[in-house]
Amino acid sequence: MKAVSSKAESLLLKPPVDAYSESELEHRSPAEPVALSVDMRSSDEDSAPGLDDFSGLSSYERKRLKNIRENANFFASLQLSESAARLREMIKKRQPPELKRKRPKKKENEIGCRRSMRLLKVDPLGVSLPAALTEPTLDEEENPLLPPGPLEMIPENQDDSGELFKASLKTWAEMSKISSERTKKGLSSVKSYKANLSGMAISEATVRKVTRGAISSVALHPSEVRTLVAAGAKSGEIGLWDLTRQCEDEVYVFYPHSQPVSCLYFSPTNPAHLLSLSYDGTLRCGDFSSAVFEEVYRNEGSSPSSFDFLAEDASTLLVGHWDGHLSLVDRRTPGTSYEKLFNSSLGKIRTVHVHPVSRQYFISAGLRDVHIYDVRCLNSRRSQPLISLAEHSKSIASAYFSPVTGNRVVTTCADCKLRVFDSSSISSEIPLLTTIRHNTITGRWLTRFQAVWDPKQEDCFIVGSMAHPRRVEIFHETGKTVYSLLGECLVSVCSLSVMHPTRYVLAGGNSSGRLHVFMRQDSF
């Protein structure tokens, strides 16, 4: 019976030749099943072609063959093969084109973006500049090193033979220094200190552009009768401004260096000496008495970053370098070389500050660490610090001992925090006392903030601010704001500030080369 049913199925599934037209045979796909083309001209199972030969089939087999024939007829009526062929043709014809960005065509009369006529090498009248002006000649070195040895103190912006400048030099050389007893007596309560700060003001007469480039260091002469401010610039300039004589333009500009002046101090024992340190590898002393910038130290192989007076009489200096080295310089020794060269544990040194009481200790701010060293333990290999202050998470701008006792340390960090440490006992650990949130992100074009102590007030320090309106802020060591110095004439950020050791005079420098001076009216 199985053989019979198989033969019947094959006959049913095999279409007769005349069941298709010639066009259907031409478009017929070889992959189409033959079962979809079964000839269903009669629905009666007895009259179906080929069934008479199998009259012996059972009713079940006949019913089964009938179902197969009806299913084949149904699928043939759907015309699935023709639809599939049409879809394949549509897919082939509708291939997505390659996506290419078409640039808009520039119209001839279209007005374009404004461009600098200077960059287009066209003068304001629309005439092309001559070829000689389009290619300016450049020096081989933008900042060539100045010759070694002393340099005459000749102002670049004044006549060197002017009687006014000579009289100013004589006056500055004769100005007396301050006494340490006066400084100690000047310490007062925070309430009294705040009251004195409230009397300080700024005016147009106390704002002056003194250098061509951005100010990178500021110093105040300790005179109690005159106000003399010195500013070092990134271009190597040093500007001196005497505010006492308001009727005349008392600003003198000198070029003792060829690169940024990173550190500037008046000598604590002889204020007629102005010491300046520059990235060009030189440390010079401007002597008002002899009108000469003498060369104290020269090291062209290692760029210095900061210095401080190691001895109380200012005879020896400790110089920090950007490569992590420390130089001991003795001003009494002939020549401009160092006495000793030490290798610190810091990769870079930004600031160096000697302890005001125990002068064998000094603090140094590096890239991410602040270390306290003992000068007696320094060596040429790798000096190990006594204490490391590792609480900082980003680069550090400065670290300074408090001015009278050295019992506090204030640091400025790029993580927008000012930190105060207890250094009253220099042991294996110095505790962190206070953390102050303060915006220290000055960006690329502004000089970095450095928080410095007020020499008159052991527990208060000064720092610039990015807040509006522009100001200079004074904080207590506990983190409280003591006072904010503001004024209509202060319209820019004062990155660096310094306070007078005995008088209420504050000088701040900014990136445009301007000095801003706050003072009490009785300070003029």
Contacts of 288 (CB under 8 A, 6+ apart): 153, 169, 172, 173, 272, 273, 274
Give long-range contacts, CB 8 A cutoff, 24+ apart: 481-486: 482/190, 482/193, 482/194, 482/197, 483/194, 483/197, 483/198, 485/197, 485/200, 485/202, 485/518
Residue whose token pair is 């009369």: 109
If we measure between CA atoms, which residue out of 409, 312, 410 comes closest to residue 357?
312
Determine the Cα–Cα distance for residues 494 and 471; give it in Å rounded to an integer.
8
What is the chain's mean pLDDT, rounded?
83
CA distance 149 to 137: 30
pLDDT in tens, 357-411: 999 999 999 988 999 999 999 998 889 999 999 889 899 999 999 999 999 999 9
pLDDT tier at 523, thresholds 50, 70, 90: low
Q: Quick: pLDDT tens for 11-41.
A: 444 444 444 444 443 444 444 443 434 344 4
Highest mean pLDDT among 40-44, 111-115, 198-202: 198-202
Tell me which amino acid residue 237 is: E
Lowest mean per-residue pLDDT among 138-147, 273-282, 379-388, 391-400: 138-147
* pLDDT at residue 110, rounded to an integer: 55
Q: And the tokens for 236?
A: 């190597």
Residue matched to tokens 């110093």? 219
Residue 319 has pLDDT above 90, yes or no: yes
Lowest-confidence segment of 52-66, 152-166, 168-182, 463-477 by average pLDDT: 168-182
Q: How far is CA 515 from CA 203, 246, 271, 461, 484, in A?
A: 12, 15, 20, 19, 18
Task: Give yes or no for residue 82 having a pLDDT over 60.
Answer: yes
Taking 3-state DSSP, the helix, strand and coil percentages for the chain, each rounded to the nearest 5, stand at 20, 30, 50
φ/ψ bin of 79: left (φ > 0), alpha (ψ from -120 to 50), beta (otherwise): left
Identify the residue with better confidence: 55 or 509: 509
Which is more confidently placed, 502 or 182? 502
Burial label for 400, CB within 10 Å (0-12, 13-18, 19+), is: buried
Is the four-CA dihedral 44, 46, 52, 57 of positive or negative sign?
positive
Q: Give 41 or 452, the one with higher predicted confidence.
A: 452
User: Identity (one letter) of the amino acid at 57?
Assistant: L
Q: Taking 70 as the threshold, does the pLDDT of residue 127 lie above it?
A: no
Query: pTM, whole model, 2 decimals?
Result: 0.72
Q: Is the pLDDT of residue 430 over 80?
A: yes
Looking at residue 111, its pLDDT comes to 57
Strand pairing partners for 420? 410, 434
- Residue closest to 304 by CA, chosen among 318, 320, 289: 320
How confident is the model at residue 44, as a pLDDT?
44
Within 10 angstroms of residue 312's Cβ, the number of other Cβ atoms is 13
Structure tokens at 48: 């179906």
For 208-258, the pLDDT digits (tens) are 999 998 999 999 999 998 999 999 999 999 999 999 866 556 799 999 999
Examine the pLDDT at 159 and tell me if it is beyond 80. Answer: no
